[in-house]
Amino acid sequence: MLKLFCRVATVTFALLFFAVPVLAEELIGTWLTQQADAQIRVAKCGKALCGTVAWIKDAMDPKTGQPQADDKNPNPSLRSRKIVGIRIFAMEQDASGAWTGGIYNSDDGQTYKGRLVPRGEEELEVQGCAGSLCGSEVWTRAK
């Protein structure tokens, strides 16, 4: 029993220590956000992986009757651009094989430190941090 435990512990340690890099191809596609209020298209863009808003649930602004705009953007010249079509991230693969970089949140106009973590073929965990405060949500592959 002790031998089996040692083998399992060794294999577990090796898997954790030698993380396998995530291939860009595994993440390419369209993903539905956790709240099912947007779809993000992930595609290669040079050496990076870029995420672009492909669809939003509430496409029209009820106040203006116009397509939702990036009205919380800190750059006044970008506040009139439509949400659909905005690139919200361009993540590059770091030394550990993870995809990291800034991720833009049009809900508050802020860019956060982000990371993409696949959870199988059909789920993608999107992590974001503002200073020491971090959060995440799970996106599912759009059908």
* Residue pLDDT, tens place only, 106-132: 999 999 999 999 988 999 999 999 999
**pLDDT at residue 3, rounded to an integer:** 44
Question: Mean pLDDT, to the nearest integer, of 69-98?
Answer: 95
Q: How confident is the model over 18-50, as pLDDT tens digits?
A: 344 567 788 999 999 999 999 999 999 999 999
Percent of the chain with pLDDT over 90: 72
**What's residue 26's pLDDT?**
87
pLDDT of residue 24: 76
22-141 fold: Lipocalin (2.40.128)
How far is CA 36 from each of CA 71, 100, 102, 108, rounded to the nearest angstrom?
21, 23, 22, 18
Q: Which of 7-11, 54-58, 88-92 has the lowest mean pLDDT?
A: 7-11
Q: Which tokens hold the place of 29?
A: 């596609």
Report the distance separating Cα 47 and Cα 91, nearest Å: 9
Bridge-partner residues for 40, per DSSP?
A: 31, 53
| Domain chopping of the chain, boundaries | 22-141
pTM of the model: 0.81
48: left (phi over 0), alpha (psi -120 to 50) or beta: beta
